[in-house]
């Protein structure tokens, strides 16, 4: 098996005006460009953050997906991220790099949304192996 880290999840941080001025082609998703409703604002510091998701393998990368606000369930992960983002990227690798998706190991941290039964079943049904990665690991 080829072990390749695939999932990148994170947050963009900065002043709200700065994040809203980012080029739309940098933050496009099927949900549209960045909107205030996607932002979490820290009342103490005034900074805000936006959840982003992407995938990479070697020099290849997926589009960046900005999940809709309030999407906290495993089914939301599958519907809003895995199906529109992960599966097309794996098909792209298979077509352009002749890499069988079943040879890749998905690296994601062990949050509840990733380790829920519905998430695990979806990965197993699509032949996606998973590297166990404890929460808060480097």
Per-residue pLDDT tens over the stretch 72-102: 788 888 898 889 888 888 888 888 877 777 7
Which CATH number describes the domain made up of 2-131? 3.30.420.10
Going by C-alpha positions, the residue among 4, 1, 9, 11 that lies closest to residue 109 is 9
Beta bridge partners of 40: 49
Residue 115 has pLDDT above 90, yes or no: no
Residue 127's CB: how many other CB atoms inside 10 A? 12
40 to each of 2, 17, 43, 91, how far by Cα in Å? 37, 13, 9, 33
Query: What is the per-residue pLDDT for 46?
Result: 62
pTM: 0.67
Q: What is the pLDDT of residue 12?
A: 54
Question: pLDDT averaged over the chain?
Answer: 70
Q: What is the pLDDT of residue 85?
A: 87
**CA distance from start to end of the chain:** 23
Whether the pLDDT of residue 68 is over 60: the answer is yes
The SS3 call for residue 38 is: helix
- Give 26: exposed, middle or buried? Use CB within 10 Å, 0-12, 13-18, 19+: exposed
CA distance 65 to 27: 8
pLDDT in tens, 94-111: 888 777 777 777 877 667
Sort strands 60-61 and 104-107 into parallel, antiparallel or unpaired.
unpaired
pLDDT of residue 126: 87
Report pLDDT digits (tens) over 31-48. Answer: 445 555 666 666 666 666
Q: Which two tokens stand for residue 40?
A: 């979490």
Question: Has residue 121 got a pLDDT over 90?
Answer: yes
What pLDDT does 53 receive?
79
């Amino acid at each position: 098996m080829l072990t390749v880290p695939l999932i990148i999840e994170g947050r963009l941080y900065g002043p709200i005006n700065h994040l809203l001025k980012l080029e739309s082609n940098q933050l496009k998703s099927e949900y549209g460009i960045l909107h205030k409703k996607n932002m979490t604002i820290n009342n103490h510091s005034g900074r805000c953050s936006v959840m982003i998701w992407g995938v990479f393998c070697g020099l290849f990368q997926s589009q960046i997906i900005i999940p809709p606000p309030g999407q906290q369930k495993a089914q939301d992960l599958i519907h809003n991220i895995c199906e529109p983002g992960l599966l097309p990227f794996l098909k792209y690798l298979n077509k352009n790099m002749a890499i069988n998706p079943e040879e890749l190991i998905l690296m994601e941290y062990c949050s509840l949304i990733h380790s829920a039964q519905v998430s695990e079943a979806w990965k197993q049904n699509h032949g996606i192996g998973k590297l166990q990665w404890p929460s808060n690991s480097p």
